[in-house]
Amino acid sequence: MRVVVSGGSGFLGSHLCEALLNRGDSVCCLDNLSSGRPVNVAALRHDPRFAFETWDVTEPFSVSGDVDAVVHLASLASPVEYERFPLETLAAGSRGTENMLRLADRHSARFVLASTSEVYGDPKVHPQDEAYWGHVNPIGPRSVYDEAKRYAEALSMAYRRSRAVDVGIVRIFNTYGPRMRSYDGRVVSSFIRQALSGEPLTLFGDGSQTRSFCYVDDLVRGLMAMIDSHRPGPFNLGNPNERTVRELAELVVTITGSRSGLRFLPLPVDDPVRRRPVVSRAREALGWYPRVSLEDGLRHTADWFVAQSQGPLRAAEPSAAGRPS
């Protein structure tokens, strides 16, 4: 296949590009590098089947030749970033999604939208399955990301109904692994950075809020299955093993051998209290289920951070505390 991946040099996108190449596909990677990093795909540039374009998906994009699939991952994805760049986040979810849908439409290609568990907001139903419509504050600080993804889902399904575009939607729950940026404000990368640096691990509230953490290799397998499917979804992709944020912090301290303590700050506005996916639909339709335990995934991730020789641990704003996003 020939696959266009928007946001392809980001944390998740770079792993997807690598996996596609490893199975023999060709990849056109689009990224404006607002959060993606060239180093994430540096090893792929030597492959003649890989092409990189510095491109903002809010601008129309065209590519010559056949395209078999378009995967739209491009978006700022951490609260620190999308609250700092709200208009850009909304644009990626609206204009960016439509430009990628138009590209898929022109090439009669499969279109896969990377949506998010944030469409469920601070859920009143637990655990969350795909039939739940969510509980989102449309004017709160998180709304620029939550509502952008909800709009992207509506737009994608409108293209499926009105123009017969082969649309598929996945709702991605908390994903972690190598190539996360240490100061992007996400809880796993922040905890690992703080533990390796001997700093207190920052928790919001009392740390009793829960999340379900999915290792990146598992998530990429789900994306690949969705690319190869013709099912519309939406399908939850995430690990149903629910942990409190405090449990995560204590596990990171243990795995890294750190002596860091815990520091508690007030809970942010609209921060979800509980989050756990029901993944039975993905298991039945895609044959997908996560395999990597949280303990093993955290070890792989911490090993990667250590291997960076402390460089990435200093490479961004030290004010970006880790929220349980």
Residue 82 appears among annotated catalytic residues: no
The set of residues, in sequence order, having a beta carbon less than 8 Å from that of 212 and lying 6+ positions away, is 173, 174, 238, 239, 240, 241, 242, 243, 275, 276, 277
Q: In Å, how far are 117, 143, 158, 161, 186 from 166, measured between CA atoms?
A: 22, 28, 11, 10, 32
Pairing of strands 175-176, 69-72: unpaired
Structural Rg of the chain based on CA atoms: 19
Using an 8 Å Cβ cutoff, are 164 and 59 in contact?
no
251 φψ region: left (φ > 0), alpha (ψ -120 to 50), beta (else): alpha
Tokens in use for 274?
A: 């509980």
3-class DSSP assignment, residue 130: coil
In this structure, the number of other CB atoms found within 10 A of the CB of residue 59 comes to 10
3-class DSSP assignment, residue 223: helix
Detail the DSSP E strand segments found in the chain. Answer: 2-6, 26-31, 50-54, 69-72, 110-116, 166-172, 175-176, 201-204, 210-212, 214-215, 235-237, 242-244, 262-265
CA distance 46 to 105: 30
List 145, 159, 176, 183, catalytic entry: 145
Report the catalytic residues. Answer: 145
